[in-house]
């Protein structure tokens, strides 16, 4: 079968809807999808029955309302289609069941939004994201709310942020007389991951429990030669990728590119871009399926941001643009003067949004595991800045100083119809070190960690830009000369937000002091970043744009803090366990084997003892003490943690516990480097990195 035949074959997509529904019902459903409205109760039963019959023909026996709780994962509870009828069963699925589900929400973190006595939440189908069959189950992508209507998931605020952006962008387009009924953010996600052999994986307690190695002396060879990047794909990995692609394609996920990444055993997959909420659903599915397919191939797919110290971590690039339903990409230099004014105005709104809400973008990627990656090997720094490229930068400078590119067409209006600077899309001047780069017709945000839900980043990005457009539209709706008004906004905002633009090397040390001079935020850890989420200016922005209520923001703050603390504490206790049970005994065993050797020599009258023996014993003695002392310190730090809560707890963990964990690791890794290989209790980095 060719790809085009099976692409989307497990999806209840438009084509299937058209075939399985009466014309009138289909048209109504299509309208619902286009407008992103709730499903009309009148057609719900027909749609549900068609969906069930189709799903059953694909082998489904169950259905689930699939949702994205605030943990960042996905959740599902399966219900059978069967109901009893006489002595047998019939398969049933009503419109009511399609529209709304009522899972018990009590075990999902609510960040204080919901008390246990009102544990129920409800899920509502997002008809813009198609239902699909996976295994024996029909999956219905849904939003998840508490009984009192608060969003306790990641999809609801994402949809709200898309609405806000749509609303404000349409106001601007109307002013410019550009026809559009709908504006949608489009997103394409580059997803990095590691693949390692399952048998090797199972031998590492830290990988099994925490998804990353907490110890490990570096391998003599890792990524120094850059011989893995874009290198030949090994047959075992190739077989994995083929099955992965096929599985994704069946689910209508347009996986397109795949290649080896910089670190050994590291790879990347990118699909073709889709509208933001669908891209988010698809990325969640992709991460899940990667892990399942890997398992079938005797592999483990690691999505942790920093599975191995010393080599590159895994990120996710969020390629984002704003598009109209009439096919116009507002971040692409257009064909007409009007479109170009829109282009410059939208780019300006993004510059302002990224500067004003740099804190929120940082918060959107703040997790314990991403902290281990950001600022490290070939990863963006924690300082948010933008790269525009020479050409766009020069054009904006020209507009800001009232010069048009073409001097002959120069006029006072600067950005007026005749004099708008031309823009040739140029992909050559790329800056790989910028966290937020303009890449010709989209912006690429590169701070996301490989396991992050992309919803968080896009909620922030959509809302921040919507808010900026809101202010622009308010201003422009009051001016008599729109061209002049736009010119003034671009000029004013570009000048006042220029500090966020940095075209140099984002990985360099100088940038940190330069950024400080510019007053940009440098929020190194998750506990440093999170309090910014609940700053008044941010809560006000969320409320102004109907993204979150105050309590909804606070809930997310609490959950992110709690998640950070829990993640690091699991790691710390895993370290203590590994050191006590495995590392210290192994080191001691090796020491004593050396000591016995020396005694044996003495017993049979050999006087000379090698430097190797004495020095190694000495070093191991010293390291054993250091390891043990640090272990005790770590244990007492964890006792302190027990007395703390909320922000204080996370902050203490970030400042104290993390440092002790690093010290502990350093001593153990030193011991590993001088201990006999087969006496070391865990597979080495060389084995792990080259296991496939
Ligand atoms: P790169 O050179 O960074 O690899 P690609 O052109 O391969 O860039 O695209 C990377 C990702 O960006 C892909 O997922 C692609 O579909 C997506 N993408 C391309 N154009 C757009 C756009 N206009 N809006 C959003 N995403 C886009
Ligand atoms: Mg990229």
278 Cβ below 6 A of ligand 1? no
Answer whether residue 429 is part of any domain: no
C-beta atoms surrounding 576 within 10 Å: 17
Same domain, 534 and 439: yes
Does residue 621 lie in a domain region?
Answer: yes
* Cβ neighbours of 42 (radius 10 Å): 10
The answer to the question of residue 218 being in a domain is no
> What integer pLDDT is reported at residue 427 of this predicted model?
52
Structural domain ending residue among the three candidates 548, 578, 599:
548
Answer whether 441 contacts ligand 1 (Cβ < 6 A).
yes
CA of 464 to the centre of ligand 2 (A): 22
The 8-class DSSP code of residue 211 comes to S
Residues 311 and 383 in one domain: yes
User: Do residue 107 and residue 124 come from a single domain?
Assistant: yes
**Closest C-alpha to 27, from 53, 5, 46:** 46
Q: Is 321 in the pocket of ligand 1 (CB under 6 A)?
A: yes
CATH of the domain at 604: 1.20.120.1560
Residues lining ligand 2 (ion), CB within 5 A? 190, 317
Query: What is the domain extent for residue 674?
Result: 564-689
Question: pLDDT tens for residues 605-634?
Answer: 998 888 999 999 999 999 999 999 999 999
3-state secondary structure 501-555: ECCCCCCCHHHHHHHHHCCCCCCCCHHHHHHHHHCHHHHHHHHHCCCCCHHHHHH
- Identify whether 252 is part of a domain: yes
Q: What is the mean pLDDT of each run of 10 residues along the chain (692 residues)?
A: 91 95 94 82 93 96 94 88 91 91 79 66 90 96 88 94 98 96 97 98 98 96 85 92 97 95 94 97 98 98 97 96 96 88 96 98 98 86 94 90 56 46 59 90 97 98 98 96 94 97 89 96 97 98 97 96 97 98 98 94 89 94 98 98 98 97 98 97 97 92
Whether residue 597 sits in one domain with residue 491 = no
Q: Which of 579, 459, 502, 387 has the alpha carbon at shortest distance from 164?
A: 459
* 574 shares a domain with 447: no
392 is written with which tokens?
């766009």
Residue 486, in any domain of the structure: yes
The sign of the CA dihedral 258, 261, 266, 272 is negative
Q: Do 63 and 172 share a structural domain?
A: no
Instruction: Indicate if ligand 1 lies below 6 Å from the C-beta of 188.
Output: yes
Report how far residue 331's alpha carbon sits from residue 183's, in angstroms, rounded to the nearest whole number. 12
Q: What is the DSSP string of 222-270?
A: SSTT--STT-PPPHHHHHHHHHHHHHHHHTT--EEEEEE-SSTTEEEEE
- Both 123 and 165 in one domain: the answer is no
Ligand 1 atom with least separation from CA of 189: 14
What is the distance between the alpha carbons of residues 503 and 498, in angstroms, rounded to a whole number?
Answer: 11
Q: Which of 192, 439, 442 to mutate to test the pocket of ligand 1 (most atoms within 8 A of CB)?
A: 442
- Single out the residue in 548, 572, 605 at which a domain terminates: 548
Q: What is the pLDDT of residue 380?
A: 83
Do 189 and 128 sit in the same domain of this protein?
Answer: no
For 469, residues 6+ apart whose C-beta sits below 8 A from its C-beta are 165, 168, 169, 171, 172, 346, 349
What is the domain-level CATH number for residue 54?
3.10.20.70
Cβ of 106 below 6 Å from ligand 1: no
CA-CA distance, 688 to 566, in Å (whole number)? Answer: 26
In a domain, 10, yes or no: yes
Summarised one tens digit per residue, pLDDT across range 516-573 is 999 999 999 999 999 999 999 999 999 999 999 999 999 999 999 999 999 999 999 9
Per DSSP bridges, beta strands 266-271 and 121-125 are: unpaired
- Identify the three-state secondary structure at position 175: helix
Name residue, tokens 């106001």: 171
pLDDT at 607: 82
Q: Which run of H or of E encompasses 89?
A: strand 88-91
| C-beta of 445 in contact with ligand 1 (< 6 A) | no
Query: Which CATH number belongs to the domain containing residue 296 in this structure?
Result: 3.30.590.10
d(CA 412, CA 184): 34
Q: Could you give phi then psi for residue 122, rounded to 5 degrees?
A: -135, 155
Q: How many domains does the chain have?
A: 3
Pairing of strands 183-197, 299-302: antiparallel
- Give residues with Cβ within 8 angstroms of 224, minimum separation 6: none
Q: Name the nearest CA neighbour of 473 among 173, 180, 159.
A: 173
Q: Is the alpha carbon torsion for 676, 681, 685, 690 positive or negative?
A: positive
- Residues 142 and 171 occupy one common structural domain: no
Pull the structure tokens for residue 18.
């058209």
Does 558 reside within a domain? no
Asked if residue 177 and residue 146 are part of one domain, the reply reads: no
- For residue 69, which of 148, 155, 193 has the smallest C-alpha distance? 155
Distance CA 559, CA 565 (A): 10
How many angstroms separate the Cα of 686 from the Cα of each of 77, 225, 675? 41, 15, 15
Together in a domain, 148 and 164 = no
Residue 133: count of CB within 10 angstroms of its CB: 23
Distance CA 280, CA 66 (A): 13
Ligand 2 center–CA 644 separation, angstroms: 41
Structure tokens at 127: 């008809």
Which residue from 523, 516, 535 is spatially nearest to 447, judged by alpha carbons?
A: 523
241 shares its domain with 371: yes
Residue ending a domain, among 152, 174, 198, is 152
> Could you tell me how many residues make up the chain?
692
In a domain, 247, yes or no: yes
């Amino acid at each position: 079968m060719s790809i085009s035949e099976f692409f989307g074959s497990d999806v209840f997509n438009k084509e299937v809807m058209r075939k399985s529904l009466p014309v009138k019902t289909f048209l109504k459903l299509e309208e619902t999808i286009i407008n992103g409205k709730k499903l009309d109760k009148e057609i719900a039963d027909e749609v549900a029955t068609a969906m069930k019959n189709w799903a059953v023909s694909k082998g489904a026996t169950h259905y689930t309302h699939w949702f994205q709780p605030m943990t960042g994962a996905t959740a599902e509870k399966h219900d059978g289609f069967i109901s009893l009828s006489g002595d047998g069963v019939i398969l049933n699925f009503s419109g009511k069941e399609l529209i709304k589900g009522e899972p018990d929400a009590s075990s999902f973190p609510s960040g204080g939004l919901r008390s246990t006595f009102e544990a129920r939440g409800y899920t509502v189908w997002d008809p813009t994201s198609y239902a699909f069959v996976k295994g024996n189950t029909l999956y219905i992508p849904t939003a998840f709310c508490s009984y009192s209507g608060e969003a306790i998931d990641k999809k609801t605020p994402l949809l709200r942020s898309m609405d806000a952006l749509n609303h404000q962008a349409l106001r601007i387009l109307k002013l410019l007389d550009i026809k559009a009924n709908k504006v949608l953010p489009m997103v394409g996600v580059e997803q990095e991951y590691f693949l390692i052999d399952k048998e090797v994986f199972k031998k590492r307690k830290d990988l099994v429990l925490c998804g990353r190695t907490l110890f490990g002396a570096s391998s003599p060879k890792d990524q120094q030669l850059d011989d893995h990047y874009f290198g030949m794909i090994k047959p075992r990995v190739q077989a994995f990728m083929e099955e992965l692609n096929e599985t994704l394609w069946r689910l209508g996920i347009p996986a397109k590119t795949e290649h080896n990444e910089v670190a050994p055993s590291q790879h990347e997959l990118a699909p073709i871009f889709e509208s933001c909420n669908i891209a988010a659903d698809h990325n969640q599915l992709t991460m899940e399926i990667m892990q399942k397919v890997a398992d079938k191939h005797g592999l483990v797919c690691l999505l942790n941001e920093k599975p191995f110290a010393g080599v590159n971590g895994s990120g996710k690039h969020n390629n984002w643009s704003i598009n109209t339903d009439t096919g116009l990409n507002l971040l692409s230099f257009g064909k007409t003067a009007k479109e170009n004014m829109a282009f410059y105005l939208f780019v300006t709104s993004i510059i302002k949004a990224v500067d004003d809400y740099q804190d929120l973008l940082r918060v959107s990627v703040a997790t314990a595991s991403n902290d281990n990656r950001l600022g490290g090997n070939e990863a963006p720094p924690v300082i948010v800045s933008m790269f525009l490229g020479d050409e766009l930068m020069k054009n904006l400078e020209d507009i800001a100083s009232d010069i048009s590119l073409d001097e002959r067409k120069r006029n006072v209006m600067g950005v007026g119809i005749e004099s708008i600077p031309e823009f040739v899309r140029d992909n050559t001047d790329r800056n790989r070190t910028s966290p937020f780069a303009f890449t010709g017709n989209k912006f690429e945000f590169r701070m996301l960690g490989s396991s992050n839900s992309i919803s968080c980043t896009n909620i922030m990005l959509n809302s921040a830009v919507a808010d900026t457009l809101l202010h622009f539209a308010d201003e422009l709706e009051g001016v008599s000369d729109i061209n002049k008004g736009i010119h003034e906004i671009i000029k004013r905002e570009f000048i006042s937000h220029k500090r966020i633009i940095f075209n140099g090397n984002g990985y360099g040390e100088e940038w940190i002091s330069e950024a400080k001079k510019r007053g940009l935020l440098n929020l190194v850890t998750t506990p440093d970043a999170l309090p910014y989420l609940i700053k008044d200016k941010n809560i006000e922005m969320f409320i102004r744009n109907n993204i979150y209520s105050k309590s909804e923001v606070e809930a997310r703050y609490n959950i992110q803090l709690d998640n950070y603390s829990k993640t690091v504490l699991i790691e710390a206790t895993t370290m203590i366990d590994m050191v006590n049970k495995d590392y210290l005994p192994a080191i001691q065993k090796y020491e004593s084997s050396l000591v016995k050797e020396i005694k044996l020599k003495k017993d049979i009258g050999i006087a000379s003892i090698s430097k190797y023996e004495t020095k190694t014993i000495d070093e191991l003695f010293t390291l054993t003490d250091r390891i043990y002392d640090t272990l005790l310190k770590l244990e007492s730090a964890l006792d302190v943690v027990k007395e703390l809560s909320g922000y204080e707890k996370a902050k203490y963990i970030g400042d104290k516990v993390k440092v002790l964990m690093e010290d502990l690791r350093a001593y153990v890794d030193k011991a590993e480097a001088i201990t006999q290989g087969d006496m070391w209790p865990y597979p080495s980095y060389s084995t792990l990195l080259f296991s496939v």
